[in-house]
Structure 1
Amino acid sequence: MTESGVERLTCLAVCAGAGGLALGLEQAGFEPVLLLDNRTVACETLRLNRPAWQTLEADLLDFDPVDHQETYDVDLLAGGLPRVKASAAVGRADDDEEIRILASTIMLMHGVRPRALLIENVPALVFRPEYEPIRAYVAAELEHLGYRHRWFVLNAMDHGVPQDRKQGVLVAFKDNAIDGFIAPAPDTEPPLTVGGALGASMAERGWQHAAAWAAQADRVAPTLVGGSWNRGGADLGPTGTKRAWARMRVNGGTVADTVPGPDFPWDLSLGVKGMAALTVEQAARLQGFPGNWSFAGRKTARYRQVGHASPPPVGRALGLAIRAALEPRHRHPHGSTIAD
């Protein structure tokens, strides 16, 4: 049962990663019948937090629903897919992995036949001209299968996440259910700041400057970037992102093992070495994960999972909106309609 006491719906989660989208959908009343990811450490994270969930370590490109008939006719097929690159979109590169994964997710609709589809990706996929061939492909396939769809962009900071993180969203529904879909409306309260989200954790080891640091970290975080799985260590993103973190006196060039201790100087004359660095757990807080959600693996792998995740509060908001369209009697009164 959901928090409102109504019956739970079912979902299939592909490219499930650390479980951010699945967790949000769970909070909205969707029970996953299967979660699919091709990374061992991500599957370990899913099993660590939700041992009752059926987690399958496999490549989406090789997945055949015939072997997992529990996925047939689920209420929702959902995925936070790898980010499609503009260069691949321009070239319509059939051998580009991100595009092949997107295409495989759409083709999976043929076998699973869910009542609804949810895909989260880069915001540019929604409106930039160079992505038009991809949007046209998606439209043709979904129309062929009898689904109607919509694209839109939302920002995680409008849905309880202390981070400026724009996300491109595709939803599709069988028949006319899309007529009842209302996109999640922005929260009426101002977004939580970095200082508000992390001030208490910065003080956990007795850092004497924690309150002063939190007071000046008075804005939302820039977009967390997970980085490449194949190279480099953990940091908070490219040069421009690191500069944004430095303005909040955060060293974005690394990820800390622990929060600052009582003797940490917070001396700006030392440059980034005099700035606090965030831990994996603090980064997860900025993504909207609950404090009891654990991440498997070593530090860099744990941070990669956090940075690549879809924020759970966004998943919850989208899940509630999709549920309301699938079950009109539970429709929520708030929201804004997105045009076709």
Structure 2
Amino acid sequence: MGDLTFVDVCSGAGGLALGLEQAGFEPRLLLDDDELAVTTLRTNRPQWNVLHTDLLDFDPAEHPVSHDVDLLAAGLPRVRSSATARRVDTGLEERLLEAAVYLVHAIRPRAVLIENVPELVHSDVHRRFRDFVRAELDHLGYAFSWFVMNAVDFGVPQSRKHGVLVALRRQWAGAFRPPVPTTREPMTVGAALGPSMAAHGWADAARWAAQADQPAPTLVGGSKNRGGADLGPTRAKKKWATMGVNAHTVGDRVPGPDFVWDPELGRDNMVKLTVEQAALLQGFPATWQIAGLKTARYRQVGHATPPPVGKALGRAVAQALSVG
């Protein structure tokens, strides 16, 4: 088939785009409205065509390079779910979902991939959006697959569920199969972060890693209207505490040789994860550089689609497009 091409909207830190690249896709255009996210993308992939713009303002007619691609991908800001019930609802996330679907009319990709919260797939709250997708895309000749996948099943050391829509033109839709898990035994936090915890000579890194013997709870990036970074809601913080991690903040550096790790003494004697370690828990390579100050960097990481999830989805789409 040659190189498969894609357009990625609301690209963020590039997790979905990186995964698609690993699956053999070549980006024609990426866009995001956050200046730091755009800097992250351009820093790690100078050759990528990255546009600093809001999806709601994007006009494909002004960017013909986006036309007639194999895949339109969108790892969009999360709509409201049980995990974000307290969030002020502005309706922006729903408008971005609809804007991504409207792009299909202009770009006419062979496949569409939208990734969001798992409730998007099955909740009555989001039935209107599912009906909207069918009304907009059915007459254009697309057939749909809605499914939920968990990043932990694809080698990511984190329990993180994704609601996914894959729509393909009907001549390829019958060949599409959702990704099959690639990992039998989940990667644990300790296995993923043990080497980095020991990097500055902390003697207790191995003992900590042995206690952090489970996947991480879902990392949450939070909103720009919130204060500093933390690792998630109360339930997640309690789970982190069982692993000896202070989840109420994000650290500036990994422990040094003099750090005393004793969770029974309270938060000050628990380890703090750094932004770089959070990125490892999202499945980013250690070489991926995130732009900005700590809170903004963590927010980009927490909002990202784990690259291994993007890679699995890309391979599944590529396999379907290779038929016929």
Q: TM-score, normalised by structure 2?
A: 0.96
1:68 corresponds to which residue? Answer: 63
Q: 1:144 offset after TM fit, Å?
A: 2.2
Q: 2:283 aligns with which of 270, 279, 288?
A: 288
Correspondence 1:1-340 to 2 at 5 A: 7-86=2-81, 96-328=91-323
- Please state whether the residue corresponding to 1:231 is helix, strand or coil: coil
Q: Write the letter of the residue equivalent to 1:44.
A: T
State the 1:272 CA deviation: 1.2
CA contact (8 A) 1:205 1:259 kept: yes
Whether the aligned pair in 2 keeps the contact of 1:86 and 1:131 (CA below 8 Å) is: no
| Counterparts of 2:258 and 2:235, CA distance in 1 | 29
Change (3 A) 1:175 1:197: same
CA distance in 2, matches of 1:269, 1:101: 45
SS at match of 2:103: helix
Instruction: Please say which of residues 55-64 and 230-239 is displaced more in the overlay.
Output: 230-239
Task: Work out the CA distance in 1 between the residues paired with 2:203 and 2:101.
Answer: 53
Question: Cα offset for 1:327?
Answer: 0.6
* CA deviation after TM superposition for structure 1 residue 7, in Å: 2.3
SS of the residue 1:154 aligns to: strand
3-state DSSP of counterpart to 1:328: coil
2:86 is matched with none
Offset of 1:296 from its aligned partner?
0.4
| Alpha-carbon shift at residue 32 of structure 1 (Å) | 0.6
Aligned amino acid, residue 169 of structure 2: K
Rounded to whole Å, the distance in 2 between the matches of 1:269 and 1:283 is 24
Where 2:271 maps in the other structure, the secondary structure is: coil
CA displacement 1:136-166 (0-9 Å, x = unmatched): 1111111022111110000000001000000
Amino acid at match of 1:154: M
Partner-residue secondary structure (3-state), 1:23? helix
Match of 1:338 in 2: none
SS in 2 for 1:246: helix
Give, in angstroms, the shift of residue 268 of structure 1: 2.2
Runs of 4+ aligned residues of structure 1 deviating over 3 Å after TM superposition are none
C-alpha distance in 2 between matches for 1:95 and 1:83 = 12
- Aligned amino acid, residue 118 of structure 1: L
- Whole-Å separation in 1 of the counterparts to 2:265 and 2:90: 47
Secondary structure of the residue that 1:31 maps to in structure 2?
A: strand
Separation of aligned partners in 2, 1:184 and 1:153: 10
User: TM-score under structure 1 normalisation?
Assistant: 0.91
Distance 2:241 2:81 in 1: 29
Q: Partners in 2 of 1:103 and 1:195 — Cα distance?
A: 40
Report the Cα distance in structure 2 between the residues aligned to 1:9 and 1:188, rounded to whole angstroms. Answer: 26
**Number of aligned residue pairs:** 319
Q: Which runs of 5+ in 1 are unaligned?
A: 1-5, 88-93, 330-340
**Inter-CA distance 207–308: structure 2 relative to 1 (3 Å threshold):** same
The CA distance in 1 between the partners of 2:134 and 2:81, in whole Å, is: 19
User: Quick one: structure 1 residues 95 and 258, their matched pair in 2 at CA, closer, same or farther if it must change by over 3 Å?
Assistant: closer
What amino acid sits opposite 1:65 in the alignment? Answer: P
1:86 Cα deviation from its structure 2 partner: 4.8
Structure 2 unaligned regions, length at least 5 = 83-88
Cα distance 1:168–1:267, how it changes in 2: closer, same or farther (>3 A)?
Answer: same
Task: Tell me how far apart the structure 2 counterparts of residues 267 and 130 of structure 1 sit (CA, whole Å).
Answer: 44
Following TM superposition, by how much is the alpha carbon of 1:313 offset from its aligned partner in structure 2, in angstroms? Answer: 0.3
Q: Deviations over 1:102-125 (max 9, x none)?
A: 000000001000000000000011
Contact 1:75 1:116 in 2 (8 A): yes
